[in-house]
Amino acid sequence: MDSQQLGSWAFILGVVIAILSGLVQAAAASVPGAEFIPLVLVILGLVVGLLNISDREITDFLVASIALLALAISAGGLNVIPFGIGGFLVAIVNNIAVFVAPATLVVALKAVNNMAKAA
Protein backbone atom coordinates (compact mmCIF):
# COMPACT_ATOMS: atom_id res chain seq x y z
CA MET A 1 0.00 0.00 0.00
CA ASP A 2 1.53 3.31 -1.04
CA SER A 3 1.30 6.52 0.96
CA GLN A 4 -1.46 7.97 -1.23
CA GLN A 5 -3.66 4.93 -0.57
CA LEU A 6 -2.88 5.09 3.14
CA GLY A 7 -3.85 8.76 3.19
CA SER A 8 -7.09 8.01 1.34
CA TRP A 9 -8.01 5.24 3.77
CA ALA A 10 -7.14 7.49 6.72
CA PHE A 11 -9.49 10.13 5.33
CA ILE A 12 -12.37 7.70 4.84
CA LEU A 13 -11.83 6.14 8.26
CA GLY A 14 -11.62 9.57 9.92
CA VAL A 15 -14.89 10.75 8.41
CA VAL A 16 -16.68 7.51 9.31
CA ILE A 17 -15.38 7.61 12.89
CA ALA A 18 -16.33 11.29 13.21
CA ILE A 19 -19.88 10.61 12.04
CA LEU A 20 -20.44 7.44 14.06
CA SER A 21 -18.91 8.84 17.24
CA GLY A 22 -20.96 12.02 16.80
CA LEU A 23 -24.12 9.96 16.63
CA VAL A 24 -23.11 7.99 19.73
CA GLN A 25 -22.15 11.14 21.66
CA ALA A 26 -25.41 12.87 20.79
CA ALA A 27 -27.37 9.83 21.90
CA ALA A 28 -25.55 10.15 25.25
CA ALA A 29 -24.55 6.53 25.01
CA SER A 30 -21.62 5.45 27.08
CA VAL A 31 -19.14 3.49 25.03
CA PRO A 32 -16.01 1.97 26.55
CA GLY A 33 -12.92 3.72 25.22
CA ALA A 34 -14.86 6.72 23.91
CA GLU A 35 -12.33 9.05 25.54
CA PHE A 36 -9.79 7.90 22.94
CA ILE A 37 -11.91 8.87 19.92
CA PRO A 38 -10.58 12.46 19.72
CA LEU A 39 -7.01 11.13 19.87
CA VAL A 40 -7.74 8.70 17.04
CA LEU A 41 -9.30 11.51 14.99
CA VAL A 42 -6.26 13.75 15.56
CA ILE A 43 -3.84 10.98 14.51
CA LEU A 44 -5.88 10.22 11.39
CA GLY A 45 -6.01 13.95 10.60
CA LEU A 46 -2.22 14.17 10.85
CA VAL A 47 -1.87 11.19 8.51
CA VAL A 48 -4.22 12.80 6.00
CA GLY A 49 -2.35 16.09 6.17
CA LEU A 50 1.02 14.43 5.72
CA LEU A 51 0.17 11.86 3.04
CA ASN A 52 -2.95 12.85 1.20
CA ILE A 53 -2.63 16.53 0.25
CA SER A 54 -0.30 17.34 -2.62
CA ASP A 55 1.25 20.74 -3.26
CA ARG A 56 -1.28 21.54 -5.97
CA GLU A 57 -4.18 20.78 -3.58
CA ILE A 58 -2.97 22.96 -0.71
CA THR A 59 -5.06 26.06 -1.47
CA ASP A 60 -8.27 24.12 -2.11
CA PHE A 61 -7.77 22.07 1.03
CA LEU A 62 -7.09 25.12 3.19
CA VAL A 63 -10.17 26.94 1.89
CA ALA A 64 -12.36 23.89 2.56
CA SER A 65 -10.77 23.47 6.00
CA ILE A 66 -11.47 27.07 6.91
CA ALA A 67 -15.11 26.59 5.93
CA LEU A 68 -15.41 23.41 7.99
CA LEU A 69 -13.73 24.91 11.03
CA ALA A 70 -15.88 28.05 10.79
CA LEU A 71 -18.95 25.81 10.64
CA ALA A 72 -17.77 24.00 13.76
CA ILE A 73 -17.44 27.31 15.61
CA SER A 74 -21.06 28.15 14.87
CA ALA A 75 -22.38 24.58 14.94
CA GLY A 76 -24.27 25.19 18.18
CA GLY A 77 -26.83 27.03 16.09
CA LEU A 78 -27.84 23.70 14.60
CA ASN A 79 -29.45 22.83 17.94
CA VAL A 80 -32.55 24.71 16.80
CA ILE A 81 -33.36 21.86 14.42
CA PRO A 82 -36.13 19.94 16.18
CA PHE A 83 -36.56 16.32 17.24
CA GLY A 84 -32.99 16.03 18.52
CA ILE A 85 -31.58 16.11 15.00
CA GLY A 86 -29.71 19.34 15.75
CA GLY A 87 -27.81 17.72 18.61
CA PHE A 88 -26.65 14.92 16.34
CA LEU A 89 -25.50 17.40 13.69
CA VAL A 90 -23.59 19.49 16.24
CA ALA A 91 -21.76 16.43 17.56
CA ILE A 92 -20.88 15.24 14.04
CA VAL A 93 -19.63 18.67 12.91
CA ASN A 94 -17.53 19.03 16.06
CA ASN A 95 -15.94 15.61 15.51
CA ILE A 96 -15.21 16.42 11.88
CA ALA A 97 -13.49 19.61 13.10
CA VAL A 98 -11.34 17.54 15.49
CA PHE A 99 -10.37 15.39 12.50
CA VAL A 100 -9.74 18.25 10.06
CA ALA A 101 -7.87 20.64 12.38
CA PRO A 102 -4.59 18.66 12.58
CA ALA A 103 -4.63 18.05 8.82
CA THR A 104 -5.12 21.78 8.34
CA LEU A 105 -2.15 22.53 10.58
CA VAL A 106 0.10 20.17 8.61
CA VAL A 107 -1.04 21.52 5.24
CA ALA A 108 -0.71 25.14 6.38
CA LEU A 109 2.86 24.40 7.49
CA LYS A 110 3.51 22.82 4.06
CA ALA A 111 2.21 26.01 2.43
CA VAL A 112 4.44 28.21 4.59
CA ASN A 113 7.41 25.97 3.80
CA ASN A 114 6.68 26.19 0.07
CA MET A 115 6.46 29.99 0.29
CA ALA A 116 9.75 30.13 2.19
CA LYS A 117 11.43 28.00 -0.48
CA ALA A 118 10.10 30.27 -3.23
CA ALA A 119 11.35 33.45 -1.54
What's the rounded Cα separation, in Å, for the pair 75 and 106?
24
pLDDT for 29: 67
What's the rounded Cα separation, in Å, for the pair 47 and 7?
6
> What is the count of structural domains for the chain?
1
pLDDT for 34: 80
Q: Considering only CA atoms, which of 59, 48, 39, 52 is closest in space to residue 114? A: 59
pLDDT for 103: 95
pLDDT for 18: 94
The ranges of the chain with pLDDT < 50 are none
What's the rounded Cα separation, in Å, for the pair 71 and 67?
6
pLDDT for 109: 95
pTM of the model: 0.88
What type of residue is 22? G
pLDDT single digits (tens) 78-88: 878 888 888 88
- Cβ 97 vs Cβ 78: under 8 Å: no
Domain range for residue 21? 3-118
pLDDT for 70: 92
pLDDT for 49: 93
Q: Considering only CA atoms, which of 13, 11, 9, 17 is closest in space to residue 36? A: 17
What's the rounded Cα separation, in Å, for the pair 48 and 104?
9
Residues 6+ apart with CB under 8 A from 102: 42, 43, 45, 46, 49
